[in-house]
Homo-oligomer: A and B are copies of this chain.
Amino acid sequence: MAIRTAEILTIGEAAAASGVSAKMIRYYESVGLVRPATRTESNYRTYDGKAVETLRFVARARHLGFSMEEIGRLLALWQDRGRASADVKALAMSHIAELEARIAAMASMKATLEHLVDRCHGDDRPDCPIIDGIAAGNGCH
């Protein structure tokens, strides 16, 4: 059996330490987002401080809404000491734009619905501007 010191974590420990589930760690590895983990003689994945740090980076980027594809690019930039900060900024700004677009789309849905909801009595009668609005396509700005 391999010797495991306090610095070398199993996947479960790395999951707890990084905030990424063991399942997702394996998945990230399988799709090449992160380097394959080192293994013990008995085929267990092992994670050192650097590997855990990388996983935490991924978790935070996910938390900011970056797609895995974008995170791949972010990781490359992170590990590239010769990177230009302009490249990072461009990636971040394009993601902000995407977030804005999605926010705007949902805000528009919300506005339309609120418009309809405001007109609905919400009682026990069948009369309903919401249903009518959806059926007729009115009420959509």
Please tell me which one of the listed residues B53, B65, B126 contacts residue A85 in the complex, with CB atoms under 8 A apart. B126
The interface on chain A, measured as residues whose beta carbon lies within 8 A of the other chain's beta carbons, has a size of 53
User: Does residue A4 face the partner (Cβ distance < 8 Å to B)?
Assistant: no
Q: Is the CB of B61 within 8 A of A134?
A: yes
Q: Is the CB of A65 within 8 A of B106?
A: yes
Interface membership of A103, Cβ < 8 A: yes
Task: Tell me, rounded to whole Å, the shortest Cβ–Cβ distance linking A122 to chain B.
Answer: 4
Does A82 belong to the interface (CB within 8 Å)? yes
- Scoring A residues 87 to 130 as 1 if CB is less than 8 Å from chain B, else 0, what string do you get? 01110110110011011001101101110110011111111101
In whole angstroms, how far apart are the Cα atoms of A90 and B53 in the complex?
Answer: 45
- A89-B120 in contact (CB<8A): yes
For A99, list chain B residues within 8 Å (CB): 106-107, 109-110, 113
Residues of chain A at the chain B interface (Cβ within 8 Å): 53, 56-57, 60-61, 63-65, 74, 77-78, 80-86, 88-90, 92-93, 95-96, 99-100, 102-103, 106-107, 109-110, 112-114, 116-117, 120-128, 130-131, 134-135, 137, 140
Q: What are 13 A-B residue pairs whose CB atoms fall within 8 Å in the complex?
A: A60-B134, A61-B134, A64-B113, A64-B134, A65-B106, A74-B131, A77-B128, A78-B134, A84-B124, A85-B131, A86-B122, A86-B124, A99-B110
